[in-house]
Chains A and B, each alone.
With several copies, the nearest count.
Chain A
Amino acid sequence: MSEVSLSREKLVDMYRKMWLARHHDVWVEDMKTKGQILGSMHLATGQEAVSVGACAPLNDDDYTMHTHREHQQLIAKGADIGRMAGDMLGKVTGCARGKGGHMLLFDKDVHALGACGIVGGGVPVAVGYAMAFKVLGTKQVSLAFFGDGAANEGSVHEAMNFAAVRKYPIIFLCENNRWGLTCPQHEQAAVEDLADRARGYGIPGVTVNGNDVLAVYEAVKLAVDRARAGDGPSMVECQTWRMRGMGFGDTMEYVPKEYLEEGSRQDPICLFEKKLVEKGILTVEEARAIEAETKKTIEDAYEAAKNAPNPDESVFWANVYAAEIC
């Protein structure tokens, strides 16, 4: 596991976010099982290190673009759990006042803008964020999450090349869990490391162990520094394991047992905790306290969301146009 010289505070915050993310997806899986959430559901249980490692080097005013498997990414960016829960349940307390649901989460207070259910579809938009930062001369950066499956969409190619030419401050964060729905990576691309594609755009590309939160942090931090310094985009590929199905109710017979077993052995929270305890940064008791405290945060948020009011017809008709027309 990588070594990074981060403050205790930062390390513990990352550890806490990983638990928050984990509990979140375990919790909504349970609610979904009970029929308390409607629609589709993409869980990232076991992929916490990618989201948390990628967002840890970012500031609140840096923008992030997320995928359809995005809950944890938003939590990592610091999204408000209560509002997220509202959106997940279609309640008026959500940022989208229930309009978006599980695949379109966003939180503009932390510039998590936002999730996208169109595979690869958000990546060009994230390039636009970076364009604005460069034109306006702010020092913000944009980070776009996308999956290994998404990497094969034309939109991602166009976006990466565009940003490379224009030297926009953006990080292309490929969350490679080796599956796109029911289709393994080798049936989606004939290359092992998707970061190899970066070279074809003339930008740096690295592949890291996506279950090692510090390795992810380190690679993304370098890319963020480059971007802020005006040196343009980078690609960071994080290889990880998808421990849940393509959506809820998918029994995953098509996934080899070995893959899931290896994914369990590589549990990113266990790995990180072990390291923190070894280094004396956290005691096991503190770790358990964080585990419990974060669980409660999730529970409380969903309990409140359950009891929150539904949006009414006025919400439906709000923002059909974003603004006055004439």
Chain B
Amino acid sequence: MTMKKVTYRQAINEALFEEMERDPKVVLFGEDVGTYGGVFKVTDGLKKKFGNERVFDTPIAEAALMGAATGAAVAGLRPVVEIMFMDWIGIAMDQLVNQTSMIPYIWEGIKVPLVLRTQGGSGSKGSCQHTKSLEAWIYHVPGIVVAMPSTPYDAKGLLKSAIRNDNPVAFIEHKMLYPTEGEIPEGEYTVPLGRASVKREGKDVTVVALSKMVVESLKAAKELEDEGISVEVVDPVTIKPLDMDTIAESVKKTNRVVVVNEAFRTGAVASDLTAQIQERCFDDLDGPILRVTAPDVQVPYSPALEQFWLPGKDKIKQAVLECMKR
């Protein structure tokens, strides 16, 4: 397969472009996604190509966005709706839990094939209202598939699968990943939902990392290699449903686990992965599963303070070394 180098941003743009071209029922809407092409320019060019009924800017009204996407999906479209920053997903959570997720289970025979695109993550000097990672809230809602790709390859292929899938899918991007580059095939391909991906093989410690934390974990793994520690980095890619088999296989080999998640520590997805892993792999574990997360603190603005909040390479290394004491 011929490969090409694209950014994470372009990869997502391509997926949207191709799926909208393939299927006239795919529509895309949200705040500033149309004329301007999105505040992160992810949806650039789509309105021009597909017109104002299929790609459009909306009023600032996140509950209506989520609800309208749900209704549109019920009535025959395949909407991709954008909530610009995950920080304000709270405005849409009632719609998500009481409409989107309720409908397929209770209203038998009705499907809700929508994709909720949003982005989280810090590191942008955005202070506490533009940097939160609240995937734990969405993750707790039954019937929603939750994906958090970390590479351009996964992002494109997975978004295409998400659009074609008949379940509501939350597709969570990371603002700091948009400019990162990676290889993707020239032609059509998809990445299946629900499959983890081993981003690096290793034998001493399994690091299960989400979204941008995969990138940080790979950096940590590289540095640890020099110290003679072999780290396996597993990226669940889809966090719900979780590909526990791939994780368990890795743990069987390494007997040590670090879970990395850029989110408030208490009640994070990292906790849930930890609970699941210890349940399934208890006898394989040499010591406790360690979690690298952000603290339970709002993300402060000052660059001098942001560093205390951010999880990343160094904290991951520390945790791996801690594990190695077992």
Interface residues on A, range: 35 or more
Pair A133/B301 contact, Cβ less than 8 Å: no
> Does any Cβ of A come within 8 Å of B279's Cβ?
no
Decide if A284 is an interface residue (CB 8 Å cutoff).
no
Q: Which of A17-25, A51-59, A92-100, A269-277 contacts B (4 or more CB under 8 A)?
A: A92-100
A325 to B161, CA, bound (A): 9
Known contacts A128-B73, A181-B32; decide if A321 and B143 are in contact (CB<8 Å).
yes
How far does the alpha carbon of A186 sit from the alpha carbon of B207 in the complex, in Å? 50
A63's nearest neighbour on chain B, judged by CB, is B75
Q: Taking A121-B98, A131-B68, A183-B35 as contacts, is the C-beta distance between A154 and B75 under 8 angstroms?
A: no
Interface string of A298-326 (1 = CB under 8 A from B): 00000000000011110111111111111
Contact B66 A124, beta carbon cutoff 8 Å:
yes
Chain B count of residues within 8 A CB distance of the other chain: 84
B274 at interface, CB cutoff 8 A: no
Flag if A121 contacts B99 (CB, 8 Å): yes
| B-contact 0/1 string along A29-63, CB 8 Å cutoff | 00000000011100000000000000000000001
Known: A131-B68, A162-B59, A326-B192. A101 touches B309 (CB 8 A): no
A182 to B44 alpha-carbon distance, docked (Å) = 13
0 or 1 for each of A120-160: is its CB under 8 Å from B? (1 = yes): 11111111111111111000001000000110111100110
Q: Does A165 contact B (CB under 8 A)?
A: yes
B99/A127 in contact, CB under 8 A:
no
Q: Which of A63, A102, A121, A320 contacts B143 (CB 8 A)?
A: A320
Closest chain-B Cβ to A106's Cβ sits at a distance in Å of 5
Whether B59 pairs with A188 at a CB distance below 8 angstroms is yes
Q: How far is the CA of A63 from the CA of B71 in the complex (A)?
A: 10
Which of B36, B53, B74, B143 has a CB less than 8 Å from the CB of A128?
Answer: B74
Residues of B within 8 A of A101 (CB): 125, 127, 301-302
Interface presence of B195 (CB below 8 A): yes
Give chain A's interface residues, CB within 8 Å of chain B.
Answer: 38-40, 63, 65, 87, 90-91, 95-104, 106, 108, 113-114, 116-136, 142, 149-150, 152-155, 158-159, 161-162, 165-166, 180-183, 187-189, 246, 254, 310-313, 315-326
Complex: chain A residue closest to B67, CB-CB: A124
Known: A96-B107, A182-B57, A254-B35. A90 touches B302 (CB 8 A): yes
Name A90's contact: one of B75, B98, B303 (CB within 8 Å): B303
- B293 in the interface, Cβ–Cβ < 8 Å? no
- Least Cβ–Cβ distance between A6 and chain B, in angstroms: 28
A129 engages B72 (CB within 8 Å): yes
Q: Does B302 lie within 8 Å of A99, measured CB to CB?
A: yes
Shortest distance between the CB of B45 and any CB in chain A (Å) = 14
Enumerate chain A residues within 8 angstroms of B143, measured Cβ to Cβ: 320-322
* Chain A residues near B102 (CB-CB < 8 A): 104
In the complex with contacts A101-B301, A124-B95, A181-B36, A152-B57 CB distance below 8 A: no
Quote the shortest CB–CB distance from A88 to chain B (angstroms). Answer: 9
A235 to B25 Cα, complex, angstroms:
28
For window 254-309 of B, CB contacts with A under 8 Å fall at 295-298, 300-305, 308-309
Evaluate whether A123 and B88 lie within 8 angstroms (CB atoms) in the complex, with A38-B303, A101-B301, A311-B305 already known. Answer: no
Q: Measured between alpha carbons, how far is A113 from B99 in the docked complex, in Å?
A: 11
User: For residue A188, which residues in chain B have a CB less than 8 angstroms away from its CB?
Assistant: 59-60
Contact A129 B71 (CB under 8 A): yes
A98 touches B71 (CB 8 A): no
- With a cutoff of 8 Å between Cβ atoms, the chain B residues found around residue A126 in the complex are 71
A135 to B77, CA, bound (A): 8
Question: Does B193 belong to the interface (CB within 8 Å)?
Answer: yes
* B184 interface residue per 8 A CB criterion: no
Do A311 and B165 touch across chains, with their CB atoms under 8 A apart? no
What are some 20 contacts across the A-B interface (CB < 8 A)? A38-B125, A38-B303, A90-B301, A97-B302, A98-B300, A99-B305, A100-B300, A101-B302, A124-B68, A128-B71, A129-B74, A131-B75, A132-B75, A152-B60, A254-B35, A310-B304, A316-B297, A320-B295, A321-B143, A325-B194
B142 interface residue per 8 A CB criterion: yes
Q: Is the CB of A96 within 8 A of B145?
A: no
Minimal Cβ-Cβ distance residue in B for A135: B53
Q: Are B301 and A104 in contact (CB under 8 A)?
A: yes
Q: Which residue of B lies closest to A89 (CB)?
A: B302
A158 touches B63 (CB 8 A): yes
- In the bound complex, what is the Cα–Cα distance between A187 and B59 (angstroms)? 7
A97–B142 CA distance with the chains assembled, in angstroms? 19
